[in-house]
Amino acid sequence: MANTKAFSINSLVRENIRQVVPYSSARDEYGGDEGIFLDANENAFGSVTSTLYNRYPDPYQKAVKAEISAYKGVMPENIFLGNGSDEGIDLLIRAFCNPGQDNIIYMPPTYGMYKVSAQINNIACRAVPLTAEYQLDTAAIQEATDEHSKIIFICSPNNPSGNLMKPDHIYNILNHFNGLVVIDEAYIDFVPEASFLPVIAEYPNLVVLQTFSKVWGLAGIRLGMLFADPELIRILNKIKPPYNINSVTQQVALEAFQNPEQKQEYVKRILEEKAWLQNALQQLSLVERIYPSDANFLLVKMHNAHQVYEYLSQHAIVVRDRSNVQYCEDCLRITVGTRQENEALTAALKQYK
Ligand SMILES: *Cc1c(COP(=O)(O)O)cnc(C)c1O
């Protein structure tokens, strides 16, 4: 199955990026953890807070990567950490797409950041809509790509539709496309068996994105994982802001790995609640359709979705209005909450006239 075509990260990367000599701190050059550090103009006496933060964080987050490596079964050299997945998306575009010349491919309806990041970087976006079943249209994707197409973004499970993309479609793209194939697996903890992480070594053009923002319950610390070929990781390390992951985030991430069972417990509870919510919503006459979901949210088609959204908002219940998004007409995206929150939502919907 592996991509047998000659694929070289170094011929894909932008020429100016290839030539960047990265910022190097004195501590990078020293290498050790112990010593008298008079190199970085920090405050040697301490911090104004009770916890000490006076030292710059580890720029390569070695301790956190060691935990992720052991937990996920990948080498630390396969891991890049970003200030949220969004930083990974932005750095990939900046490393591989020449402004005003190259393009990215994305499949709406999907996560908004691929397009926004591309637009900020002056990279053309080619939209190849998902099919009516929210699956990849591989023929249309192939049709849309040319020699300036550098990245295809695939979101699986997809936000906002909630479903997984078919694996043979993804393999088809991985095997035929000569640029990067980024699979955004933000919701993969709900369907771990569908992850493409296990084949990362077989496809040098594969990039997998995962995040601490969803089931780990750590959206506030801003930590995203990017997995890829070590050569690609080296390029991202070269162009990232040197201290992109702060000390607090690194400490909290280490704490998370003290108790990963808690994450599994959350997966179970959220899936139970999803079933409850799905069932409760199905009873309501205003609900037309609930799309199959492999994630922690439901895409729900209903009469007058926008008015329902406004009504819920007036009752201090905030859902995501996707009703004016192409291919999501009359749909709201509803995150699975606690039982109490889900009951409040369904009770309010029952009252809606
Ligand atoms: C929530 C989400 C993310 C997470 O982004 P972070 O920057 O890591 O918080 C990434 N991709 C998709 C599709 C998401 O829904």
pLDDT in tens, 279-294: 999 999 999 999 999 9
**Beta-carbon contacts of residue 338 (< 8 Å; ≥ 6 apart):** 273
Ligand 1 and 155: CB distance under 6 A: yes
* Neighbouring C-beta atoms of residue 298, cutoff 10 Å: 23
What separation in Å is there between the alpha carbon of 283 and the centre of ligand 1?
Answer: 31
SS3 321: strand
Q: Quote the pLDDT of residue 256.
A: 97
Ligand 1 and 85: CB distance under 6 A: yes
Residue of 158, 159, 335 best suited for mutating to test ligand 1, as the one with most atoms within 8 Å of CB:
159
Q: Quote the pLDDT of residue 32.
A: 80
How many residues are present in the chain? 353
Backbone angles phi, psi at 219, to 5 degrees: -60, -30
For ligand 1, atom 10, which residue shows the shortest CA distance?
186
Residue 257: both structure tokens together: 């790995």
> In the chain, where does DSSP find H-type helix?
9-12, 15-18, 26-30, 62-72, 85-96, 113-120, 138-144, 167-176, 230-239, 247-256, 260-282, 305-314, 339-351
Say how far residue 41 (Cα) sits from the centre of its chain. Answer: 35
Q: Quote the pLDDT of residue 215.
A: 96
Give residue 5's pLDDT band: very low, low, confident or very high (50, 70, 90): low
Ligand 1 and 213: CB distance under 6 A: yes
Kindly list the distances between the CA atom of residue 15 and the CA atoms of 11, 12, 18, 97, 206, in Å, as whole numbers in the listed order: 8, 9, 5, 10, 21
For 211-259, the DSSP string reads ESSSTTS-GGG--EEEE--HHHHHHHHHHS-TT-S-HHHHHHHHHHTT-
Average pLDDT, integer, range 134-143: 98
Q: 305 near 319, Cβ under 8 Å? A: no
Q: Please report the sign of the dihedral spanned by the C-alpha atoms of residue 84, residue 87, residue 2, residue 234.
A: negative
**Beta-carbon contacts of residue 56 (< 8 Å; ≥ 6 apart):** 25, 27, 40, 42, 243
What separation in Å is there between the alpha carbon of 160 and the centre of ligand 1?
Answer: 11
pLDDT in tens, 94-120: 999 999 999 999 999 999 999 999 999
Ligand 1 and 152: CB distance under 6 A: no
Degrees (nearest 5) of the Cα angle 220, 292, 143? 90
Kindly list the distances between the CA atom of residue 299 and the CA atoms of 167, 288, 296, 334, in Å, as whole numbers in the listed order: 22, 11, 10, 6
Q: 254 near 63, Cβ under 8 Å? A: yes
Residue 178: both structure tokens together: 């000569």
Q: What is the CA radius of gyration of the chain?
A: 22
Q: In this model, does residue 348 exceed pLDDT 80?
A: yes
Ligand 1 and 109: CB distance under 6 A: no
* Neighbouring C-beta atoms of residue 16, cutoff 10 Å: 8
For ligand 1, atom 1, which residue shows the shortest CA distance?
186
Q: Quote the pLDDT of residue 33.
A: 81
- By DSSP bridging, strand 206-211 and strand 224-227 are antiparallel
Residue 152 pairs with which residues in a beta bridge?
105, 181
Rounded Cα–Cα distance for residues 246 and 83 (Å): 9
Reported pTM? 0.96
Residue of 89, 209, 213 best suited for mutating to test ligand 1, as the one with most atoms within 8 Å of CB:
213
Q: Quote the pLDDT of residue 31.
A: 79
Average pLDDT, integer, range 140-167: 98
Ligand 1 and 86: CB distance under 6 A: yes
Nearest atom of ligand 1 to the alpha carbon of 111 = 13
**Beta-carbon contacts of residue 194 (< 8 Å; ≥ 6 apart):** 156, 157, 164, 167, 188, 294
- Residue predicted with more confidence, 25 or 71: 71
Average pLDDT, integer, range 158-186: 97
Give residue 1's pLDDT band: very low, low, confident or very high (50, 70, 90): very low
Residue 153 pairs with which residues in a beta bridge?
106, 182
Average pLDDT, integer, range 303-318: 96
